[in-house]
């Protein structure tokens, strides 16, 4: 059995796309996921599966949510090593030391086109900062993510890639949950 982390985009926000995590765990067991754990209500799921790739798991989870709830939810499935690597590569180490609540990681469904990444370089929303490394965007909005112009929707629109964002604490909790014996 392999351990995976599914991160859902845009559920339980402002009364939209409401999914109770206890119900979701039951539904995901129907597609043969095991040892299913959830963290907070924003769609963070740690589970085990055998014989399916990350992309197959994304499709299976999306289809189950559509079947049970009647709406589409983008799903990204990562391995514990992918999350560890994202944490390790974070360029905002000083900012994390100063205030970890102001560092975010946006996970992209695929690596964005270089032309779109290059086009972002002219956008300046200082003091907000970001760095793109492969399929990960590191964001530091010093005035808070709720006020950030460079947020999940911004990066999805500019990069033309499905994305979902988690704060620094959540990413680290998911790593801890997925690597416990």
Mean pLDDT for the chain overall? 94
CATH class of residue range 82-179: alpha beta
SS3 per residue for the chain? CEEEEEEECCCCECCECCCCHHHHHHHHHCCCCEEEEEECCCCEEEEEECCCCHHHHHHHHHHHHHHHHCCCCCEEEECHHHHHHHHHCCCCHHHHHHCHHHCEEEEECCCCCHHHHHHHCCCCCCCCEEEEECCEEEEECCCCHHHCCCCHHHHHHHHCCCEEEEEHHHHHHHHHHHHCC
- Asked if 77 and 4 count as a contact pair (C-beta separation under 8 A), the reply is yes
Is pLDDT at 181 greater than 70 in this prediction?
Answer: no
The whole-number pLDDT of residue 41 equals 83
Beta bridge partners of 102: none
Q: What is the mean pLDDT of residues 34-47?
A: 93
Q: Write out pLDDT tens, residues 66-124.
A: 999 999 999 999 999 999 999 999 999 888 888 889 999 999 999 999 999 999 999 99
Pick the CATH number of 2-78 from 3.40.50.920, 3.30.70.1280, 1.20.58.1610, 3.20.20.60: 3.30.70.1280
For CATH 3.30.70.1280, list the domain ranges present in the chain.
2-78
Identify the pLDDT of residue 180.
79
Question: Which band of pLDDT confidence, cut at 50, 70 and 90, is reported for residue 11?
Answer: confident
pLDDT band at 13 (very low <50, low <70, confident <90, very high): confident
Using the Cα atoms of residue 154, residue 159, residue 163 and residue 167 in order, give the sign of their dihedral.
negative
């Amino acid at each position: 059995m392999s351990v995976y982390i599914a991160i859902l985009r845009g559920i339980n926000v402002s009364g939209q796309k409401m999914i109770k995590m206890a119900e979701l765990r039951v539904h995901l067991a129907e597609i043969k996921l095991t040892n299913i754990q959830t963290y907070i209500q924003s769609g963070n799921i740690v589970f085990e599966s055998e014989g399916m790739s990350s992309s197959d798991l994304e499709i299976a989870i999306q289809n189950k949510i559509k079947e049970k709830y009647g709406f589409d939810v983008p799903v990204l499935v990562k391995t514990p090593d992918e999350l560890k690597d994202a944490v390790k590569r974070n360029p905002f180490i000083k900012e994390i030391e100063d205030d970890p609540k102001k560092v975010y990681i946006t996970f992209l469904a695929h690596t964005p086109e270089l032309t779109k990444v290059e086009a972002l370089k002219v956008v300046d929303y200082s003091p907000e900062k970001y760095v793109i490394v492969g399929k990960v965007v590191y964001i530091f909005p010093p005035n808070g993510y709720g006020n950030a112009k460079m947020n999940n929707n911004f990066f999805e629109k500019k990069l033309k890639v499905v994305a979902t964002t988690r704060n620094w604490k959540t990413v680290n909790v998911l790593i801890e949950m997925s690597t416990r014996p």
